[in-house]
Amino acid sequence: MRERIIAILEHKKLTAKRLEELSGIDREKWYALRKGGRRVNEDDIKVIVDIAPEYALWLVSGQIAPESGQTSPDYDEANRTLTGQNAG
């Protein structure tokens, strides 16, 4: 799950400082999570789901359901790339 949280944070370009502002969780804890210094906890999951509800299913299960608006950062990036190519 840690890897999926990191993927979401990178996709959303969220820094530890910004996460601290959004969540009230100390930025040092976000740094530690990214570096593998601590495990994901319930509070982390809640914050990420609040920030990126479109990734909730993928975060907890690794599955996507685009027809229900539940995707992943990779899925969204692939669609963005395809849309960009079709627009030109």
pLDDT tens digits, one per residue of 43-68? 999 999 999 999 999 999 999 999 99
Q: Return phi, psi of residue 58, to 5°.
A: -65, -40
Q: Whose CA is closest to 19, among 27, 8, 11?
A: 27
**Predicted pLDDT at 49:** 98
**Cβ(5)–Cβ(25) under 8 Å?**
no
CA 49 to chain centroid: 8
Indicate the pTM of the whole model.
Answer: 0.89
| Mean pLDDT computed over every residue of the chain | 94
| All domains in the chain, ordered by first residue | 2-87 (1.10.260.40)
**Predicted pLDDT at 72:** 98
The CA-to-CA distance between both ends of the chain, in Å, stands at 37
Cα separation, 43 vs 49, whole angstroms: 10
